[in-house]
A and B are shown apart, each in its own frame.
Chain A
Amino acid sequence: MNNTLLELKNISYKYKNNLILNKVNLKIYSGEKIALLGKSGSGKTTLISVLNGTIKPTQGEVKLFNKSFEELDRKQKRKITTIWQDLRLIEDLSAEQNVNCGLLAENNFYFALKNLLNISSFKMAHKYMQLCRLHKSIYDKQIRNLSGGQKQRVAIARSLIQGSDILLADEPFNNLDPKLITTIKNLLLENVDKNNIKKSPKTALVTLHRLDLLNDFDKVIGIKDGKIFFNIKRNNLKKLHLDKIY
């Protein structure tokens, strides 16, 4: 539990003169399950984008495995996977093709071509889609023809299939019914999966709005106006903490 995987040092991010993140310091250790709480517009999504290297902070330093993003090779960068709030799936591709995109990193160009031509193997993709409770009938359907909940689970399957060590998830339970939320939450946070396929990510940072989902997390971070207000163990979370950020 003591290895630092991700570290943010004095991170600030400005966009069009608005300070979105304000001097954020954060350490994420191996195996931690962290819930990130905060109102809409508090900077949660930006924080995730900084953590996965999509956004370069205006100020400060981001370190993954004690190296800055520029120093990392492609293999090391692959150790992070992200479930985006807006899903970011490729609308014209089918659900199984989108899930297969998660395997692009460990395969060559020929695999990408076969995937687009719809002639690649979808065995692995189907396993993960099954895990995410996606019905067989939607495997070959284009993303644009799926419901919000189905899209959400395709994005989760695409992320899980990458087999990364660190999962960053931005409100992954949106559009899901209560039964599915429990299933998906277990899938995201459990270290060992049920189908004897790759392990789900060991370390997770998940943004949430619903407090009843906090049970399985080790730590809770509260963010407001781009500043971290608290970073505590879940058991220590009190009402006064929440009052600070909501």
Chain B
Amino acid sequence: MNKLKLNYTSLSFLPILVCIPLGYQLINNIHFGGFKLFQELLISAFNPKIDNEIIIIVIKRLNETILIGFFSWLVSIIFGAIFGIISSNIFYKIFNIPNFFCRIIRFFLTIIRSIHEVVWGIVLMQIYGINFSLGIIAICIPYIAVNSKVFAEQLETIDYKSFESINQINAPNLSSLLTIIWNPIINTFKNFGLYRLECSIRSTVILGLFGFGGIGTSIFLSFQTLNFRELWTYLWSLAILIILSGLIFKKIKFNNINKILSILLIVVFFITILFSFSYFLYFIINNNFENFNSVTSLFKSSSDLGLLDFLKLILETIILSLLSTGIAISLPPLVIGIFNNNTSKIFIKIFAFLLRLIPTPVILLILLTFNNPSLSLAALTLGLHNAGITSKLLFTNLESQDRRNYIAMKSLGISKKTSWLLGLFSQQAKSYLAYCAYRSDIIIRETAIVGVIGSIGLGWQLQESLSSFAWQEVTIVLISYSSIAIVGELINGKIKNSLT
């Protein structure tokens, strides 16, 4: 008997095995109490509430969302670039500074980005109380660290020989640095910056669910009051915002920036830095620590959390991440492969768009209408939302791929599904898995959101500890989160490197 050989294609499908334990628990937990609610929710999607009153609310809420999303994006992309530069090797080579400092900054940024913006938001809210600008700050903190990683990675791709040739001119260090990094920074901004704006808007919506304002808050309130028609008005308006922003982004061309626009961008760059610093100082000086007395309270307050309970929570969080990642990796190729015709593709795309559009806590609440809260349900939620994102990437890559192999296989009489698998997907499998490795970093961080809503893992414990101002527990939970995310990032980094 031949040995089973794993290749990139089979590895893309293998994680679907997580559905066996997951499905078992979900079937056991099924209930029909919320079936009517679910039915009502579906019908409301085609009959959203539209009147003057709600349109005014939608405009107001969308304005808030755009404002928070835009400012957090602007600040995080600019500071992300700055931190990206000072955490790249090229900076240390030019200024002749020991690389040790680079490693310290990178480690510090890794810790910051390992904690989800929702967690930052909840913690900051507990410390400072409700404040409009907290949403922006909560998004900016991890986003600056995420963006800095992307910028630093791009700067590592600079050809060492170009660096040598500019360095050999013996210009002032700052001039050499600017000349060398200019294009990688601009290109990263072009390719990645606008995607991050979409991410900022999504994060604003999620933070809104936790009371930070914007359309997210309205979505959550309408769901809580079971006002599904209103809920869909908000969701569809959010969909329009995302589609419109996507269309606008596509129209923007950066290739021919004129001189005036260049100067304007530089001015915006410096004003943002100046404004951010002044606001940061203002925020620190003018805010009272409502529920947070001193740093010593982090270590002095007592904790009722036993070691075993705590280990159980950590284990739950890890299992949640693994199950969700399994779904996010395998579901898109499996569904696209099975339903491989044009009509099905349209439906899959719409479904994937909805999964991306509807924030994970809302998906979880919807699923709770016919299933009891459990780890599997939280994993399914997170898995489905991320499958929506991975499927978008897969569709884009498959559509831009050379189809000659696929056509050749079909002409040989091979079935459409097999031709798709071997002629199209197999060529994408490697890069798809590499992206999924990156995505699983995000999934680990996102376990915090479903944890808070679905009473699972460390996310739930964080909410509990914060509610009772048990700062020592909060510190332990945050350190645990950070550790899991850092270990996950290291493993995924190794996987990504072996795939690229």
Contact = CB atoms under 8 A, between A and B. Distances in A.
B171 A104 contact: yes
Contacts of A101: 166, 169, 179
A115 B166 CA distance: 14
Contacts of A116: 178-179, 182
Interface in B208-250: none
B259 A118 contact: yes
Interface string B375-400: 00000000000000000000000000
B169 A90 contact: no
Interface string A65-109: 000000000100110111010101110110000000110110111
B183 A104 contact: no
Interface in B120-178: 159, 161-162, 164-172, 174-176, 178
B39 interface: no
A119 B168 contact: no
B172 A93 contact: no
A52 interface: yes
Contacts of B169: 78, 81, 101-102, 104-105, 162
Contacts of B175: 104, 107-109, 111-112
B491 interface: no
Interface residues on B, range: 20 to 34
Contacts of B182: 116
Contact of B171 (A52, A112, A118): A112
B262 interface: yes
B173 to A, nearest CB: 9
A148 B51 CA distance: 66
Given A84-B165, A90-B162, A162-B169, A119 B259 contact: yes
A105 B171 contact: yes
A117 interface: yes
Contacts of B172: 74, 104-105, 108-109
Contacts of A108: 172, 175
A84 B161 contact: yes
B408 interface: no
Contacts of A118: 259, 262
Nearest to B183: A92
B266 interface: yes
Q: Which of the listed residues A115, A116, A119 has the most CB atoms from chain B within 10 Å of its own CB?
A: A116
A89 B174 CA distance: 19
Interface in A111-130: 111-113, 115-119
Q: Which of the listed residues A90, A107, A111, A119 has the most CB atoms from chain B within 10 Å of its own CB?
A: A90
A100 to B, nearest CB: 10
A54 interface: yes
Interface of A: 52-54, 74, 77-78, 80-82, 84, 86, 88-90, 92-93, 101-102, 104-105, 107-109, 111-113, 115-119, 162
10 contacts: A88-B164, A88-B165, A90-B180, A101-B166, A104-B166, A104-B169, A108-B172, A109-B178, A118-B262, A119-B259
Interface of B: 159, 161-162, 164-172, 174-176, 178-180, 182-183, 187, 259, 262-263, 266
Given A74-B170, A90-B162, A119-B263, 9 more contacts: A54-B164, A78-B169, A86-B161, A88-B162, A90-B179, A109-B172, A112-B176, A113-B178, A115-B179
